A and B are shown apart, each in its own frame.
Chain A
């Protein structure tokens, strides 16, 4: 069975440009998470979806970040415009239910120049 798939794996952009990350969770997993991981730090939750509903987006900087999970499967995280401080790894994870083991994708490593 395929794990959590993310693309692209790496992205280099100039500041003020937009960027989007895509995530395909494990089949059948209703809960999807986007995390931000800075160098030398643990991941921090940006947003959590239960099916297509964003049930926790309290840590998402809504002035420049947006996310969607239209059909309750794939999800897209967007940054517009990107800032230098957004350089980090963006991880997507999914779980079968709200409580339980989360399975992580390989992440998208973003570098903003």
Chain B
């Protein structure tokens, strides 16, 4: 059974700091890995999707890396802003007997302070 772990569970940083969120998974037979953002009381917004054959993806100030063999991914946020405050979830997609399955971590709650 795939298990996804995110460290740290919560993080508070001053504005402007660069930061790294970590995600690890136990089964490396994944199809892709996705990073989502969730604001309080809202649904999830997809940030980045990395295919299993890729090493990283970038979008603006966000960079996600994937090391499938070691079961790790990191989300790097450059020059953090208060608007980045949210919960960040990683999820791995893999094939099961009935099709694909997305397994989520428990998230990292980020607070960027002025």
Contacts and interface: CB of A to CB of B under 8 A. Distances in A.
Contact of A43 (B32, B44, B93, B100): B44
Interface residues of B, number: 25
**What DSSP secondary structure best describes chain B's contact surface?**
strand
B76 interface: no
Contacts of A33: 102
Given A58-B98, A99-B100, A41 B46 contact: no
A33 B91 CA distance: 15
Interface residues of A toward B: which range?
20 to 34
Contacts of A41: 106-107
A40 B38 CA distance: 12
Given A42-B4, A42-B91, A42-B107, A102 B102 contact: yes
Nearest to A97: B100
A22 to B, nearest CB: 15
A93 B100 CA distance: 14
Nearest to A101: B46
A42 B46 contact: no
A104 B45 contact: yes
A50 B104 contact: no
Contacts of A56: 96, 98-99, 101
Contact of A106 (B42, B99, B102): B42
Contacts of B101: 45, 56
A48 interface: yes
Interface of A: 4, 6, 33, 40-45, 48, 50, 55-56, 58, 91, 93, 98-107, 109
20 contacts: A41-B106, A41-B107, A42-B4, A42-B104, A43-B44, A43-B104, A44-B104, A48-B99, A56-B99, A58-B98, A91-B43, A93-B44, A98-B99, A99-B32, A101-B34, A103-B46, A104-B36, A104-B43, A104-B44, A104-B45
Interface of B: 4, 31-32, 34, 36, 41-46, 49, 89, 91, 93, 96, 98-102, 104-107
The 5 closest A-B pairs by CB, nearest first: A42-B104, A104-B43, A104-B44, A56-B98, A106-B43
